[in-house]
Amino acid sequence: MTHDDEQLLASVFRLGDGYFGIPAAQIQEVVQVGTLTPVHHAPECVSGIRNLRGRIVTVIDLKRKLGLPPADIGPETRILMVDRDGELLGLLVEAVEDTIFLDPGAVAPAPPQVEGIDAAVLRGIYQFGNRLLALLDHEVILHWRASQGTSGLVQ
C-alpha cells in the first residue's frame, strides 16, 4: 500500500466467485484473450504465449498462480498486461469488473489462513460495495521461477 494518505487506484477483476484487485498503475492495458500458443515444459500456471502487436507475451493463468483451479475462458475473460522488470507479462483473469479508489487506511489485514490462496500474496481485504475484495501483492505474484511449477510463488 502507499505510506501516505493518498487513495490507491485499483483494478478489480474476478477469478471464479472471488473479487481481486491490483494497483491500476501496474496495468498497461487490458486485452481480449486471442490465440494462446502452449509452451511445452512451462510451469502449469503459464497458459501460453501470445503475439501482441509484434511482441511475444507470456500469459499466466492467475487462478493457477494462486493455487486455484484453472481459469474458465469465456467471453468476459481478459488479459491484464503488466510490466515486470521491463518484460511484458499477461495475467489471465475471468472478468474485469471496475477500477476503484481505495482508502489504504480501510484495507484490513488478510486473515492468516485464507482457503486456497497463499497469504503471502495478499496485501489485505477491502470492502467493495457489498463484496469483499482481496488486494493482491503484484510484486510477489510476478516474481516466479520456472522450477516452482504450479505453486510457484516466491516469498
Set out the domains of the chain in order of their start, with CATH numbers: 8-144 (2.40.50.180)
Query: Which region among 81-90, 92-101, 138-147 has the lowest average model confidence (pLDDT)?
Result: 138-147
Contact call for residues 21 and 10 (beta carbons, < 8 A):
yes
pLDDT digits (tens, 9 = 90+) for 63-87: 998 888 999 999 999 999 998 888 8
Q: Please report, rounded to a whole number, the percentage of residues in the chain having pLDDT higher than 90.
A: 52
| Alpha-helical regions (H) of the chain | 62-65, 138-142
| Site of grid cell 510477489 | 140
- pTM, two decimals, is 0.82
Cell of 39: 509452451
% of the chain surpassing 70 pLDDT:
83
CA distance to 84, 107, 131, per residue, from 128 (Å): 27, 10, 5
Best CA proximity match to 25, nearest among 103, 101, 131, 107: 101
**pLDDT at res. 81:** 95
Provide the pLDDT for residue 141: 78
d(C-alpha 131, C-alpha 51), whole Å:
35
119 within 8 A of 110, measured Cβ to Cβ: yes
Say if CB 153 and CB 145 are below 8 A apart.
no
The yes-or-no verdict on residue 124 having pLDDT over 80 is yes
Question: What pLDDT digit, counting tens, does each position of 21-65 carry?
Answer: 999 998 999 999 999 999 999 999 999 999 999 999 999 999 998
